[in-house]
Amino acid sequence: MKSERAYLEHILHCIDRINQDAYGGKEVVFASPTLQDAIVRNLQVMCESTQRLMESSKMRHPEVDWRGISGLRNVLVHSYFEVDLEAIWTIIQRDLSILETAARQLLVESSPDG
């Protein structure tokens, strides 16, 4: 079993990759199936890593919609034909930064110096 720190680092790595892939903007992403696939895959893996975090860690960050992240993972894995790119773009623009901030704070708290 990996440590919580490893999952937090992985979440941040996925967010960074999503942000890199989305950097060109909505029109570029919507025109590129390759970018769409990369973003969706990183969202899926990121969501999976959030499910591995301890409940006590999640409770310290109620600003994050942990249940929504879990639901997104299920849609991405099981209903991938129904993935709504507009909804994905909204998540990238509105929600990723909230998760990123929480993950960074949890990472600091999990460090020996935290």
27-73 per-position pLDDT tens digit: 999 999 999 999 999 999 999 999 999 999 999 999 999 999 998 98
Annotated catalytic residue, options 60, 67, 78, 94 = 78
Chain-wide mean pLDDT for the chain?
93
Whether residue 61 lies in the annotated active site: no
Q: From CA 49, how far away is CA 14, in angstroms rounded?
A: 10
Residue with tokens 């992403």: 29
Domain extent listing, the chain: 4-110
Q: From CA 59, how far away is CA 106, in angstroms rounded?
A: 11
Residue 92 has pLDDT above 60, yes or no: yes
The model's pTM is 0.92
Annotated catalytic residue, options 17, 41, 67, 73 = 73
Contacts 24+ apart (CB under 8 A), 52-59: 52/2, 52/4, 52/7, 53/4, 53/7, 53/8, 53/106, 54/4, 57/4, 57/106
Mean pLDDT on 68-86:
86
The Cβ of residue 57 has, within 10 Å, a number of other Cβ atoms equal to 19
Whether residue 13 lies in the annotated active site: no
pLDDT value at residue 1:
60
Stated as kind and residue range, the H or E segment containing 57 is helix 55-59
